[in-house]
Structures are given as C-alpha cells and as structure tokens.
Structure 1
Amino acid sequence: MTPETELPATQSPTTDLSEQLAQLTRSWRERLEPPAQSTRPHTRRRTDIVTQQQFANMIGYTVGWYRELELGKRAAYSDHFLESVATAYHLNDGEKTLFYWLAAGHEPPAPSDPTDVSPTDTLQLIVNEQPWPAFVYTEAWDLVSINRHMRTWFPWARPGANVMHWIFTAEEARTHLYRWKEDWAPVMISRCAWPSPGPPKMSGSSS
C-alpha cells in the first residue's frame, strides 16, 4: 500500500463497511411506502416513512434485532433474516448482492431448484387423507403435491403451478378467496418470498 492509498488513522475497512450498511439500510427502509393506516402516536397525521417498528413487523423479527442491522453492526445474521429484509426492501439483484456483502461478507445463496422437490409417500398420504383442500408448496410457492379436494375446488392447481401467480393474476381468485382485498392480498404480499406459516384460511366463495 502506497502512502497515497493509506487510510486515515481514524478509519478502517470495517468501519467503512458498517457505515455503508447503516446508510443503505436506512435509505432502503425510508423509500418504502408506509402502511395506509399508519399514524404517529397521539396524532392524526400519517407517517411519512416506514418506521423501524413497522418494518420489523413486516419481516417477523423484533425491532431490536432489526435495529442492530440498521446501526451497521455486522453479525452472524441468518440467511432467512437477510432474505426477509432484502425482500421487504424490494431490492434488485445488484442491491441484494451488495446488501449481503455488507451485512454478512458473502453473496446471497443460490435459489433452490423447485423441480428437485417432491413429496415422500408418507407426506402424500397425509395430503390425500385431508377432508378439505390441502397442498404442499416450496419456498417459491410452487405446488409439489395436492389432494382431490384441491383439484375440485381449484381446477388450476397441479404440481408445478404457482400459488402466488394464481392469487394475483387470476380473476377467479378474488371470488374464491374470502376478503381477497382486505386479508389475502396484504398477507400474501408480505410472504411472497420467504417461508411462512401458510396462507390465510381458504373459502369457497366471497359471501
């Protein structure tokens, strides 16, 4: 390293990365659209940005854990946590790669191939025995197993079909799924890119 390229005595590569992480995570959060009903405590005025607490609720983690990230602290964050954050930020591929390098020091893990997923005989038997529509899906929401009730209620359903694609592109989804606009759409948007407890309860009509 030449004298011209030496870092000042008060600066280090780690400090610089932490500062970048803090600045970027804060800017990515602040560019998000806040919830429609969001208001500041003790006021009727809508908040201008998504707060740290609101963002933590979106990704299903505590605000304290998320705050550590936004302070620029590099830690042993799990891939699930980082993926949840990156998805909620709506990062593009380049931003996501930068985010992973700054937060964890490595690139995002390669996505799994849903075509490699298949149900075991025992799991398929459990699905078949359910008295209501039942299905098994991958992290990408691709169906890998369905039962006869699922085929009857939802003719589009077949192994390989994508649940999210149907929910947000099929006109029939708005009548098959009770309170589609109020319950289904907001919940499924928040779960569209990471594992979740599952979709809301299905209903055969909107009445």
Structure 2
Amino acid sequence: MTTSRLGDYLRSRRARVTPPDVGLPEDGRRRVPGLRREEVALLARISVDYYLRLEQGRERRPSAQVLDALSDALLLDDDGRLHLYRVAGMMPPPRHEGGIERADPHLLTLTELWDRTPGLLLGRAYDVLAANALGRAVFPHLRPGANLLLTMFLDPSVRSFHADWEAAAANAVAGFRFLAGARPNDPRIHKVLRTATENSREFADLWNRQDARGKSNAAKVLLHPDVGELTLRMQTFDVRSAPGQQLVVYHAQEGTRTADALRLLGSLAVTRPGPRDDSPHP
C-alpha cells in the first residue's frame, strides 16, 4: 500500500480520537480504535474519497484550509497542527490574527531574576509588552505600552540614544516587514504601519526598500543619558507559548565599562522601580 508521512500521521491521530470526543455517538461495533475515515471526512467537511487518498499517500498536496479542518477534526493542539503542516510540506499561517496580547507572568518572573541582563518582551507588532527592571533602566523610552517602531521614528530623543540611528532604524523597519510577512492580515500590524507611514517620511522611504530580516545576534552601541556609552550584544528568542512574541535579551562582555555601567543601572533600578506591566495589549 502506498503511504506517506502525512498519511501515517493522520492514521495515528485518527486512532486516538473517540466518537464521544467529537460529539458523535458510540455504536459499539468498531473493529479498530478511534474514528472511522468517513467520520473524519464528515467532521472536516471533505469527501471520504479525498480523505482516503490523503491517508494512502495518493494525495500529498492538501490546501491550508483542508489541513486546518483536519486539525480541528482530530483535536490537534498547536504543536500537533504545526507537525501536520510540516509532514504535508507546508508552513502554517498564524491560527489567530489580531486580538489581545498578554505577557506570560512566568516569563516575567524569570526575566526579573536577571540583574545583569536587560530584557524586553515585544509583541507581534513591536509593542513593548513588558521589560525587566534593568531593561527599563537601559531603555527608558521603551516602557511597557510603547511601540518600538513608532518610538524609533516619532520620538526625537531616540536619535541621540543610538550611536548609529540610521542603522538602527533600518534594522527596525526590516524586522517589522519580516513580522508583517508572517501575519499579513493582522489589524495591529496594519495600524502601526499606517501610523508610521503617515507621520514619518524616513520610515516610508525605508519601508519602500522592501528589506526583510528578523532580529539576530548583533552588537548595539547606545548613548545612555545616565551612564554614557553602552556596547551591548543582542539575542532574540521566539516565545513558544505566544507565537509572534519575541524576547530580546542584551548582555555585555564581563570586565568592560559597559558591564560596570549595567551594574550601576541595576542598583539605580532597585531604588526607583517601575511597573513591569502585565496588562493586555491590542
């Protein structure tokens, strides 16, 4: 019998779902565990013949709509849905676009333990969802509730904060385009894009260059108003529990003036703490 990774996965998931799990009657005359093929087809609203071809490996290019319907029919969680797309040779579009974003409180608790590591949590449209104490001290203009992209272009003080504002601005725009490509229908991304375009010609010019790249390991030179020049390396991590969110972490080489400055900023942050912010963002 012809087979495929997709067919093998569909059969294995079908065997793990019982009729009562999906609101179907249990007739008690089943020779194999789980759902029948015709029941999966019914739930996914596709023909039985088409579903049979998928399981047998004779059909290997289902549409995203079919994969999402099968994911729902087989009660797959987000990881299961992602794997279903992968074995079908595709990448899934975001399951939910728009809506309220929240910072994971456990992630916030973890980042607050980093007394030498500034951290920022960014949302799907570069909204600052949260920052640890040192992150707030290093980036006073990026308090929770701000938007990194809009602040870069619409806050005049940011130009003197970056030693090379032009490079920082170009990287911010390329990163925003990279995010927008993954979520083309997200209303928050469209709102930020519209605001930036209408209020900054420099942003519009950079946007028209069509550069797209994600945040990566890079060095930044900042001119902090309290402690002077800071040379920081940046690492960016996708937040697995909240697709679209990014945790941006900065660190300094030990023994340098920047490392000493971070310790000073950390001590200042203890004496004048600010809210880390757990509130939702659009």
TM range (shorter): 0.3 to 0.5
Higher RCO (Cα < 8 Å, 6 or more apart): 2
TM-score normalised per structure 2: 0.31
Which of the pair has more CA radius of gyration?
2
